[in-house]
Amino acid sequence: MYDVPDQTGKLAVVTGANSGTGKEATKRLAAAGARVIMAVRTPAKGEAARAEILAEHPDAQLEVRRIDLADLASVQEFADGLAADEPHVDLLVNNAGVMHPPTRITTKDGFELQFGSNFLGPFALTVRLLPLVLAAPAPRIATMASGAANFGRIRFDDLQWERRYRRMAAYSQSKLADLMMSNHLAKLSADRDWGLLSVAAHPGFTRTNLQTAGASLGRERPSRLTHWGLRFNPLPTQGVEVGTEPLLFAATSPDAQPGAYYGPSGRLGLVGPTTLVKAPKNALDPETNARLWSVAEGLTGVSLPASGPILRK
């Protein structure tokens, strides 16, 4: 098991902290001494997760705050509230996501749900929180991508899948976009001398509710095909404790490198201890990464200053 270094005195924000890898990351960051803001869409679920963690770690410092990454107004409200209450944020963990809704669903702002929730929402949150993060002594942002990014392609001519929706391809695009965001953020930090460590990770095939929650959107329950596919899955899988470790390594290890990508080292890259993994070629072109960043600024209305320092308002 990865031993999270001492996080005493640090403030971390974890999205999707009420379940799966987000909940596990929250628990282990708090157990290592961090104060953790649990950024969740449904506060009641966040409070239930908080109670479970406190039962195991009574001294954990946890606070539940609402954010809906599928609603840019909610992202702004969350960021503004945090800026009003905190002098800095040491660590932002972009973890929350949705996977494979069976039909094309849109966010409150009209974006295809996976592209909007998995990428544009986290992008807007990241940019809005950058002044707070950069005010920290050792700022870091860890972003959860996915092995599906290997199969992704950024469809600049149809980012919202308005022509023909394909749920798996849409998911792969959104997670590739997350990886490209992390890589471009690392480049921006180096170019502008921010001192920010931007690192990405993927969990391999980790058993969480991600596979079923998204597949049931718009339905009372996941399809029979999804149910049987998971039940008789021939691929290796792992529990959430191990599956969260690449993200925790990216978020806390002193050995994590800027612009690096971490994932499982075992069979098919789906299970096993954390290692440095090769990012897909589609995430490594600086010009394309910059283009996607610019497009995201236009779509979300959230952008960085063209040059110079980022100052808190």
DSSP secondary structure of 31-88? HTT-EEEEEES-HHHHHHHHHHHHHH-TT-EEEEEE--TT-HHHHHHHHHHHHHH-S-
8 A C-beta contact, residue 248 and residue 131 = no
Task: Report the C-alpha gap between 269 and 50 in whole angstroms.
Answer: 31
CA of 99: how far to CAs of 102, 166, 302, in Å? 9, 12, 25
Task: Report the C-alpha gap between 189 and 282 in whole angstroms.
Answer: 21
Task: Report the C-alpha gap between 122 and 93 in whole angstroms.
Answer: 10
195: left (phi over 0), alpha (psi -120 to 50) or beta: left
Task: Report the C-alpha gap between 250 and 256 in whole angstroms.
Answer: 6
Task: Report the C-alpha gap between 53 and 131 in whole angstroms.
Answer: 30
CA within 13 Å, CB half, 286: 7
The arrangement of strands across the sheet holding 261-264 comes to 61-66, 35-40, 11-15, 91-94, 140-144, 197-201, 261-264, 274-276
Short-list 176, 189, 87, CA closest to 140? 189
Four-point Cα dihedral 303, 307, 312, 313, nearest 10: -70
- Name the residues annotated as catalytic: 171
